[in-house]
Amino acid sequence: MLIVIPGGLPALPVAAELAKLLPERAPTLHGWLKAATARPAPFDLRAHGCTAFESWQLSRAGYTPEAGLLQGAGLGPLLAADHAAGSDAVWLAELVHLALGADQANLLDPSMMDLRAEESAALLDTARPLFEDTGFAVDELSPQRWRLRLPAGLRPQTASPTAVAGQRLNEWWRQDTETRPWRRLLNEIQMAWHEHPVNDARAERGLPPVNALWLYGGGTPWTAAPAGPELVLTGLDVPQRAGDWSAWLDALAELDAQHLRPLAGNKGLPGTPTELLLLGDDRTAALTLKPRGGLLGLLPAPKKNWSAWWSHPA
C-alpha cells in the first residue's frame, strides 16, 4: 500500500525543532520513521512548474512533459479531464487574489479564496465581452477555475498557482513580448473587476477580492494511467505551505490518530508492506516499511537515523 502525505516534510529552518515534538504529537509516524528505509530526494519547484504533490499526481497519471513545457503544464488536461477531449492544449485560469506590497506582489494561496459558483458566474459575465476579437476564449470549469483558449502560436511556460503562492511574483510573471496580448487582456479584466459587486460581497464575508486570473497549464490531453492502491492524506498540505507550524502540528496529531494508528499492527508498524511518501517544498522522502516476521519479529527493530534526512537538504 502507498500512503502519500503532501506537506509531510516541514521547511528546513523549523524541521529540527518539529522533530523533537513528533514522539508526543505523532507517535505512530515517529515509530515508522525510526523503522523505515528512507530515500530522500531534492525537488526543484521552479524546474517542475508545480508543487511536489502536483508533480506526483502527474507522474502517477502517466504524464510525460512535452518539449518546451514544464511538467506542470500537464495540470491543464489533468484538472480539466472532463472537458479536455481531443488534442488541443488545455490552458487554465485560476481566479486569484494578488496582494500588492510596497515593493513586491504575492499570489494568495488559492485554497483561501472560498469561491462560490454565483460569484464566478458573475465575474465571468463581466469579463466575457473583453475576450471578443482578442484571439482568447473562455469557459467556466468550476467556481475557482476557467478554461482558456489562447491565440495560435502562444504557448508560454507557466507554473501552477499553488507553486507560485506566497513567493515574489516578479520571479514568475513573464514580461516578454510573446505574453503581451495576455497581459493586456488581463489588465482590462482587472479594471472591470475593480469595485465589482462580487468583491464588495466578499469583503462583507471577510474574504479577499478576486482581482486577477493566473494562467497555467498548456499540456495536451493523454490517457491517464489507472491509480493503484493508495491513501492520500492532505491535512498537512495547507498549513505546511502557509508556514503555520502550530496548525501543522495539530493536523499531524489528527492524521496520526485517525489514519496511521489504525494501520499499525504488531509493535506499532504496518501489518503489510507499506510505502510512505512525504512531500515538502524542496524535497521528498520515500519510505519503505516491511513487517518483521518469524524470529525477527521477536527482536527490537533496528532504529534508523531518520533525523539525518528529516532536518537536512536532500
**pLDDT tens sequence across 91-148:** 999 999 998 876 678 899 999 999 999 999 999 999 999 999 999 999 999 999 999 9
Helix (H) or strand (E) holding 247: helix 245-255
Tell me: pLDDT of 83 over 70: no
Number of domains present in the structure of the chain:
2
54 within a domain of the structure (yes/no)? no
Whether residue 55 is contained in a domain is answered as no
On whether both 154 and 192 belong to a single domain, the answer is: yes
Whether residue 277 sits in one domain with residue 160: no
More confident call, 110 vs 304: 110
Same-domain pairing of 213 and 234: no
Looking at the structure, tell me whether residues 69 and 157 fall in a common domain: yes
CA dist 283 to 11, 37, 92, 167, 306, Å?
9, 16, 27, 17, 14
Tell me the residue range of the domain where 42 lies.
2-47+227-310
State residue 153's pLDDT score.
86
Examine the domain organization and report whether 116 and 139 are in the same domain.
Answer: yes
* Count of CB atoms situated within 10 Å of the CB of 176: 8
Claim to verify: residue 81 and residue 172 sit in the same structural domain: yes
Question: Is 134 part of any domain?
Answer: yes
- What is the full DSSP assignment across 281-297? SSEEEEEEE----GGGG
100 plus 197 within the same structural domain:
yes
Give the distance, in angstroms, between the CA of residue 225 and the centroid of all CA atoms in the same chain.
20
* Whether 201 and 231 share a structural domain: no
pLDDT of 168 > 70? The answer is: yes
Answer yes or no: is 201 within a domain.
yes
Q: Are residues 207 and 241 in the same domain?
A: no
